[in-house]
Amino acid sequence: MPMTHAERMRRYRCRIAEDPDRRSQYLAKQRMRYHARKASGKVKTVDQMTDKEHRKAKKYWRAVKAQQRKAKKYQSVVTPPPSPTPIAEHAIRPGSSRASREKNRKKMKKVIDNLADKLEKERKRSQKYKKRWLRATGTSETPRRKTKKFLRSATGHQVQRKLLLHNVLLEQLKSKYIMSKHESKKREFQRLFTGSLIKKYKLKREFCDMVGLPHLKRTCEDDTRKPMNRKKYNCKKLRPFWVVQATEPDRQTCLCRTHENFQFILEKLHSLKAIKSASCETVVKEAACDINSKLCMYGECPKCKSPALTHTPEAIDSEMSVTWKKWVTKKEERTVRGTVKTVQFTVKDTVEGNVNCLLEEAKIMLARFKKHSFNITNQYRHCCLLQRNMKANECLIHVDFSENYSCKLAQEIQSMHFGASKRQITLHTGVYYVGPQGKANSFCTVSDSLNHSPAAIWAHLSPILDFIQSEHQVDIIHFASDGPTSQYRQKANFVLFIKTMSDRKIKSASWNFSESGHGKGAPDGIDGAVKRQADKAVLRGCDITNAESLLSVVSAQSAIKFYRSEEEQIEAKQADVSSMRITTVPGTMALHQLSWKSEYKSDLHYRDVSCLCGETICGCSSKVFTFDFGDTNVGAVDVSTDDADSYVGKHVVVRYDNTAYPGLVLDQDGDEIYVTCMYKVGRNRFLWPRVEDTLWYAKEQIIMVIPEPMPVTKRHLQVEPQLWDEILQMTD
């Protein structure tokens, strides 16, 4: 059989190794070849290698060396020793007895215990003298001790000088940080401002806000946290323990549209260096005299009536084309099984325009955001004060509809996942407090009916009110909820609110609505607890197919009080509401508080924001609306119905901040009208903006329906002059 190439080369190398002359010639030739390859760059030294090549070479060297050691070890094992190893003869000694070993062990244990006691005594003795020495020499001057010592003996002038020094240093650091152009210097600032002492006193967030440092998210790809000359895959090995992998619950899915749209605009302006800060709170503070004043935040203050961004228009080209993000609601026609249907959906759209359009949009959004921000703060503050200052005869009920619970079975076939196989259950959750410092009492009403209308609301609230009035002496009730116009904040609910309170002999009542997009609270936590209990029961083998089975599963294992609302009760209340013809309360979209007293009967007091004075009905900017209840039937009102009227596709004039604007109606949802408005450039001159100015208006804000505006130039339009004069007289 012929030899392989490897066998021939092995014999060739053996012949060379047997001849010393041939071997020396072979080695010299190999050295010359190595130097030639090194000179040509084919062989690199360590200082010529890249990081990757060096790591690869070291990996190869380690493998070769390991193979050499393995071969050497194998050779030593298979090679016999030159002579046999003599075996040492050990004298056989008798071992100690078990009793003797136990005696020695106890003796040693006693010695160890004595030494441990002596050591503990000496440790305590040293600690005693150490404490005496520390007390004798005095304690260290920490920042907190220095502050307390200074405040005990400082005069007003000294305090003023200290505060002045504090503010000057902060302003100087802030200006230095802003003026720093190199990222390395900014990183030095960040390391300086986030030191161990600042972390110890928990001042990191406050200090960063004062100086203007951004709150950077600590992610694995943060370049400031990686050593230089490292590849991205090394970041995983160097990851700190507090940097964790993002999960699905970390996704923010309940954000406010107003906040997000305003934040998109500010971030774009900040990236263009048109404004100094991209923080919504900072911009609002700069645009208002007092963020806690309703006059300032509602644009009624003479000093800050026209809010403006602190921007530098000379730094950028005002006609430069820019794009920014915006959450918008759109409509489109889709074909479903051969039928064309109009669907409505919300998307994060990209808006195009120039810098001037962006600044104009920011100015409009700032005025709305100021009002929005004040409403959020005021409503939360009012609910906290109300809960804290209630009397023994008062009760606060916080309610909300949760997302419907989908029925589940422990074992399901595949086809059950499709179509309408899975029924849904309505959960109406809430919590109530009675008296001062009352504890939270959670409840949940369930129903097979998927109706969330005002009739369903009061069907769900009826057992709760029955229980509260039977257990407590309550004659004043306060309600709190979010403000969807299809559920709580609408005229039908207002009428049922007055009717129910009157029937139950309540002296006074109020209803407080949270700001749009900020209605999360305790009921949402109860909703999550109920659904988790139901899911755990399903995993244990229970089947949940309707409201009754859900109650039987969760009621026995929870501290939450459960009630069931029958479909017949909801349908009966819905029939009563359907027979009513109810007048819309003016400004329903803007109101945040309802107040009622038994002596006023059909008068409903309402406000744009909740009053903090503590009285159910007071003179703090409240408006009054009287329902014509008649003699016998509370809520059976015979008034005009405008609900059937459709404004979609019509040109209207709307009232916004006591100013009339023409526009086109794009959509209508009950008492809400979605209008895109025109910009006013003269007394009766308007134009369609490049960026749509769209907003939901209450039906009461529509002044009148007008004919389509007439063009007067290529871009400008006007309303019929005589009609526009009448509109101006109505708004004056």
Structure tokens that stand for 518 in this block = 């900020």
Residue 95: which pLDDT band, with cuts at 50, 70 and 90?
A: low
pLDDT of residue 57: 93
- What secondary structure, in 3-state letters, does 199-241 show? HHCCCHHHHHHHHCCCCCCCCCCCHHHCCCCCCHHHCCCCCCC
Instruction: Write the pLDDT tens digit of every residue in 610-655.
Output: 886 656 556 565 677 777 654 334 433 333 333 335 677 888 999 8
Would you list the DSSP string of 277-290? ---HHHHHHHH-S-
**Tokens at residue 273, please?**
């260096």
> By 3-state DSSP, what share of the chain in percent is helix, strand and coil, each rounded to 5?
45, 20, 35
pLDDT at position 216, please?
Answer: 44
* Confidence label for 481 from pLDDT (cuts 50, 70 and 90): very high
pLDDT at 387: 87
Phi, psi of 454 (to 5 degrees): -55, -35
The Cα 385–Cα 520 span in angstroms is 18
The pLDDT of 115-133, averaged and rounded, is 92
Question: Tell me, what's the pLDDT at 512?
Answer: 92
Tell me the average pLDDT across 522-538: 92
11 pLDDT more than 50: yes
User: Is pLDDT above 90 for 112?
Assistant: yes
* Exposure string for 247-278, b = 16+ CB within 10 A, e = fewer: eeeeeeeeebebbebbbbbbebbbebebbbbb
**pLDDT for the residue numbered 86:** 59
Task: Say which range, 170-179, 226-235, 592-601, has the weakest mean pLDDT.
Answer: 226-235
Alpha-helical regions (H) of 579-615: none
Split at pLDDT 50, 70, 90, the class of 241 is confident
Map residue 494 onto helix, strand or coil.
helix
**151-175 mean pLDDT:** 86
d(CA 102, CA 120): 27
Q: What is the pLDDT of residues 428-448, one digit of tens each?
A: 999 999 988 788 899 999 999
Q: Is the pLDDT of residue 725 over 50?
A: yes
Please count the CA atoms within 13 angstroms of the CA of 431 that sit on its side-chain side: 16
Residue type, 9: M
CA angle 664, 666, 670 (to 5 degrees): 115
Instruction: Label the pairing between strands 476-481 and 508-513.
Output: parallel
Question: What pLDDT digit, counting tens, does each position of 309-332 carry?
Answer: 766 656 677 788 889 999 888 878
Confidence band for 85, pLDDT divided at 50, 70 and 90: low
- Spatial contact of 424 and 407, defined as CB atoms under 8 Å apart: yes
Instruction: Tell me what the pLDDT averaged over the chain comes to.
Output: 83
The number of beta carbons lying within 10 Å of the beta carbon of residue 564 is 16
Q: 21 or 235: which carries more pLDDT confidence?
A: 21
Give me Rg for the CA atoms of the chain. 40
Which pLDDT does position 121 carry in this prediction?
Answer: 94
pLDDT tens figures, 661-712:
999 888 777 667 888 899 888 888 898 887 778 888 877 788 888 888 888 8
Tell me the CATH number for domain 391-411+422-626.
Answer: 3.30.420.10
Q: Is the pLDDT of residue 391 over 60?
A: yes
